[in-house]
Amino acid sequence: MPLCLGVKKMKDKIITLGHGSGAGLTHKLIEEVFDRNFKLPTLDDTVEIENRMVVTTDSHVVKPIFFPGGDIGKLSVTGTVNDVSMSGAIPKYLLSAFIIEEGFKISDLKKIVRSMKDAAEEAGVHIIAGDTKVVEKGKADGIYITTTGIGFLPAGVHLSSKNIQPGDKIIVNGTLGDHTVAIINARENLELDPTPQSDCASLNGLVQLMLKNAKIRFLRDATRGGVATILNEVTEETDLGIIIEEDAVPIKDATLAVCGLLGLDPLYMANEGKLVSFVSGNTSNLIAEMKKYEHGIDSSVIGEVTTEVKGVYLRTSIGGLRPLLMLESDPLPRIC
Amino acid sequence: MHLNNFRNLELIKKIVTELQSWEKPVKFMEVCGSHTMAIGHWGIRKLLPKTISLISGPGCPVCVTPSSVIDSLIDLKDVTIATFGDLVRVPGNKGTLEQARANGLDVRMVYSPMETLEIAREKETVFVGIGFETTIPGIAYTIMEASRQNLKNFSVLPAFKLVPPALDALLSAKDTNVNGFILPGHVSVIIGSDAYSLLPEKFEIGGVVTGFEPLDILVGIKKLIEQIRLQKPKIENEYSRVVSSSGNLQAQKVIEKVLQIEDALWRGLGWIPISGLGIREEFSRFDAIKKYGFEITDTEEQTGCRCGDVLKGKIIPPECPLFGKVCLPNNPIGPCMVSSEGSCAAYYKYER
């Protein structure tokens, strides 16, 4: 998680949900509370410790625990696999820690663990150790899972936002907002038909395919805060500008409809199987290869790095240009 | 009819080109917060000539909800608060509902007031009844349903606002200088386009009921320009695919049955006569003001915030000395910065 430059000091005395949003408030919390004490070697999602070994850790909380397209178990594997993968590393091992609320059904736990096993097999990683704690009824919301991932960087791979140059193309591997729409539909009983599915998936295979087919500068999985937050982090770190073409951004019609209804923006919505990549040079071969891959069928170049503007801008489909700002907190649904 | 038809690039270019030749400076007010958002979202201001300026009116329901409503709720003990999402970050004098939630207050965001009835089956629950004519019928219907189910745990804090009386008050005060109104689309679905007849009749100012797609808004602006050219102010309905002249009679009946017209306190504007709705005696057991003895009074702290002038269209957000300096989306001093529909938030997000 990069530093958010130029932000005001934290004025909050207590933690609010906004501090967990992945947006500006989260950055401030990391900067002023965690990093101030830990003096972290990096604020990135992963860190290389030795011999090209990369580690990451990620806590998973989701409501509902089972949702169309996945569950908290699958998410706890794919989320961590993806964090490792975005460094360019090949994920190998996972460790998982469970916090379970008293009264949680063992049959549900079995379902969750089975789906972790399936997701790990699909991603080619091994779950090698773990821990279990049970807390009193009412002290947790069902189940929380923290997974730690270990992977290894192939020789010659070094991805960093510092490598990004003007003219680099920005690619996403498919439709945005699918996970959030699936969760909102399940949580709010919107009864959308067909039922929207989460895009929850491991992207390690896709990443290795991308590294073989193009000069990749930087990768990031577009989870909390969505694509717009990642783009803002990049422009803050690099002083470059980005222009996104609205018409090129792949978004399902159902997602657009839900967003219109609830006043949300798919560019800020969480995905669980989507990455943003910054790519140098010709991208047509890369896109063609990505489209052959299960999790890359709707891959698209959505914009370009530029020195024409500072910050992130969206060229709207009617030709207007508007800034895509860093959100400070979770987006709020609108009244009407 | 597909919505994409209202984003037709060729038609947009045609209208934009026509508007470019307009020479006389005019100021149009978009009353509705969703219009403010849509104008920013599509970058429409940048497509207009300098002679046509768009200013935002008082139509963000969250923005005009007084601090004392939020403060009353924060003081509640052992009561669940159900609210539309965008109210939770609006600061009253005692902080926000989001902060109160972190301190233990049970605050639930709901998409529909009907969800509150489910919560009220288990816990004492207040629904925060904010909004204009768009959201009011759903809340009134929820009160009818609570009455039918004889729920004891449910009440609504009425902080409803009505659009036509607010426009009447704005124009009567003579400190709002506008040449035409982009009238709210969704409010008009309920009240009908005839509800604005006072604008041309009393003030000789025209208005166009408009939808929210780029062509809707541009056609609305073009119609207003045409009215000015012909010096014939009137109410027109561009959004005829969903708005009729008399509105949704069924919804009006529900409002009439449950609610009655009252004076209302608008944050930033003060008390405006007959511009709100309270709960009728027949349903008073669902009236949170009576149930908990709330006092809705003008308690706004003097912060230097000029949201009131923004809501009246007297200034645009960057003209407020606090805008973008101390008043930011993560630290809103005034209500217009909080909701994404608020004029200041929309300006900060789209127009800087």
Per-residue pLDDT of B285-339, as tens digits, reads 999 999 999 999 998 877 888 988 888 888 889 999 999 999 988 788 887 887 7
Residue B69 has pLDDT above 70, yes or no: yes
Class of domain B67-163+247-292: alpha beta
Q: Does position A6 have pLDDT exceeding 50, yes or no?
A: no
Q: What mean pLDDT comes out for the span B235-243?
A: 97
pLDDT of A2 above 50: no
Q: Where are the beta strands (DSSP E) in chain A?
A: 47-50, 53-60, 66-67, 70-71, 90-101, 126-135, 143-152, 169-172, 215-221, 241-245, 275-280, 300-306, 311-315, 321-323
Helix axes A72-85, A204-213, angle to 10 degrees: 20
Q: B251-261 pLDDT, tens per residue?
A: 999 999 999 99
Task: Average the pLDDT over A319-329 and give the result.
Answer: 82
Q: Kindly report the number of other CB atoms within 10 A of residue A121's CB atom.
A: 12
**pLDDT of B3 above 70:** no
ipTM: 0.70
Please report the pLDDT score of residue A4 as a whole number. Answer: 35
Q: B186 contacts in A (CB within 8 Å)?
A: 336
Looking at chain A, which residue has its C-alpha nearest residue B114? A188
**Chain B residues touching chain A at CB-CB below 8 Å:** 7, 9, 12, 34, 37, 40-44, 46-47, 61-62, 84-89, 98-99, 101-103, 109, 111, 130-132, 134-135, 186, 214, 328-331, 339-341, 348-350, 352
Q: What is the pLDDT of residues B14-31, one digit of tens each?
A: 999 999 999 999 999 999
pTM of the predicted model as reported, rounded to 2 decimal places: 0.81
**What confidence tier does B349 reach under pLDDT thresholds 50, 70, 90?**
confident
Among candidates A11, A325, A332 on the partner chain, residue whose Cβ is nearest the Cβ of B88:
A332
User: A10 or A295: whose pLDDT is higher?
Assistant: A295
Mean pLDDT of A131-149: 96
Domain residue spans of chain B = 67-163+247-292
Domains and CATH numbers, chain A: 1-36 (no CATH), 45-152 (3.30.1330.10), 161-323 (3.90.650.10)
Closest CA to A182 of A328, A21, A25, A74: A74
Would you say residue B62 has pLDDT above 90? no
SS3 A210: helix
pLDDT per position as a tens digit, B149-176: 999 999 999 999 999 999 999 999 887 8
Residue A132 has pLDDT above 70, yes or no: yes
Distance from CA of residue A173 to its chain's centroid?
A: 12
* Alpha carbons B184 and B209: distance in angstroms, whole number: 6
pLDDT tens per residue, range A46-68: 999 988 999 999 999 999 999 99
pLDDT digits (tens, 9 = 90+) for A182-207: 999 998 888 888 899 999 999 999 99
Name the A residues in 315-334 with CB < 8 Å from any B CB.
316-323, 325, 327-329, 331-334
**Predicted pLDDT of residue A335:** 62
What are the tokens at B311? 């809501």
A280: distance to nearest CA of chain B, Å? 30
**Residue B184 confidence (pLDDT) above 90:** yes
Predicted local confidence at residue B300, as pLDDT: 82
